[in-house]
Amino acid sequence: MAQEIERKFLVLDDSYKHEAFASYHIQQGYICSERGRTVRVRIRDNQAFLTIKGPSIDGGLSRSEFEYEIPLEDAEQLMTLCEPGMIDKTRWLVKSGEHTFEVDEFHGENAPLVMAEVELKTPAETPKIPHFIGKEVTGDRRYYNSQLRRNPYSQWYNI
């Protein structure tokens, strides 16, 4: 079984942009975003992916994940079948020690949210945390992309 193990953090400032070795634009929609399972369509620049995720375990640290590259044209058509609300973001890749942090700068209704994720090999693994990383939000469902689609950050972050 494919397993995703990751930690999520809020980002303190935009210094990650100067340290990034790559970036790309992402648009994603959800065909299904029920609790415990999601089916996501993602367009990343000129590539497209279909991702199926299971329920979170270990306090939101891990879950099953299956991702498949699909034709761009198929993804564009699948986007029309998605639930209301799309995620639009720029992803920046920043190396820190042995790990790569994926820093997501959200656009539209989820601006000015900036979050970083780091994928791990085991739940006990400890990555080298970059200086721009703030509060950990692993397991906080409000920060799941599928939830941000329903309840955008701009509607609740000042509360």
Q: Is 30 a catalytic residue?
A: yes
Give the helix/strand (H/E) hosting 140. Answer: none
Measured CA to CA, the distance from residue 5 to residue 119 in angstroms comes to: 6
Residues recorded for the chain: 159
CA angle 144, 140, 99 (to 5 degrees): 70
Measured CA to CA, the distance from residue 101 to residue 98 in angstroms comes to: 10
- Per DSSP, 98 falls in state T
Q: Which of 16, 24, 30, 144 is catalytic?
A: 30
SS3 33: strand
Tell me the catalytic residues.
30
